[in-house]
């Protein structure tokens, strides 16, 4: 699995994974830190050739994460993908936060098993309910700077 910075050319693939409009995902790539996980067998230098997508193909991407830092916390704004991709991608903001002595916070839909599993495996603590998104309840996970030495 290869993790890299997302490119504007990934917007169609990200939109497919997130079930969001391409323009929204294109803006996300510009406004936040966005990383993608792709199948390690894919040659990133290969010509994309005949594809219905302008850039990367959703079949090449295993998941993505977006996050930003405000004050003393890194906020994960979106995370989606396979179980392994979610864990690997969630480790990205954790590394950043560790270097900056910041906390990390993740909100996950209650049925987002891959995100919950990744958060648990990386040492996040459940901090109760988060806000509702589109009427669906969320669970709040938080990792404090003091927890980094144990991971």
CA–CA distance, 30 with 26 (Å, rounded to integer): 7
Question: What would the pLDDT profile of 83-99 be if each residue is shown by its tens digit?
Answer: 999 999 999 999 999 99
pTM: 0.83
Q: Which CATH number fits domain 2-150: 3.50.50.60, 3.30.565.10, 2.60.40.10, 3.40.630.30?
A: 3.40.630.30
The residues spanned by each domain of the chain are 2-150
Judge whether 48 and 41 are in contact, CB under 8 Å: no
Give, in order, the Cα–Cα distances in Å from 148 to each of 8, 66, 97, 116, 129: 32, 21, 9, 18, 23
**Average pLDDT for 137-146:** 93
Question: What would the pLDDT profile of 6-62 be if each residue is shown by its tens digit?
Answer: 999 999 999 999 889 999 999 999 999 999 999 876 555 555 444 444 556 667 899
- pLDDT (0 to 100) of residue 148: 66
């Amino acid at each position: 699995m290869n993790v890299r910075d997302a490119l504007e050319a990934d917007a169609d693939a990200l939109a497919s994974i997130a079930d969001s409009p391409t323009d929204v995902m294109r803006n996300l790539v510009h406004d936040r830190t966005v990383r993608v996980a792709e199948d390690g067998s894919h040659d990133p230098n290969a010509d994309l050739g005949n594809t219905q997508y302008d850039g990367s193909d959703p079949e090449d991407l295993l998941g993505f994460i977006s996050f930003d830092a405000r004050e003393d916390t890194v906020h994960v704004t979106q995370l989606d993908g396979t179980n392994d991709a979610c864990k690997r991608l969630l480790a990205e903001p954790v590394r950043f936060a560790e270097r900056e002595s910041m906390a990390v916070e993740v909100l996950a839909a209650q049925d987002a098993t891959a995100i919950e599993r990744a958060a648990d495996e990386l040492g996040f603590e459940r901090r109760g309910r988060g806000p509702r998104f589109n009427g669906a309840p969320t669970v709040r996970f938080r990792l404090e700077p003091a927890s980094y030495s144990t991971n």
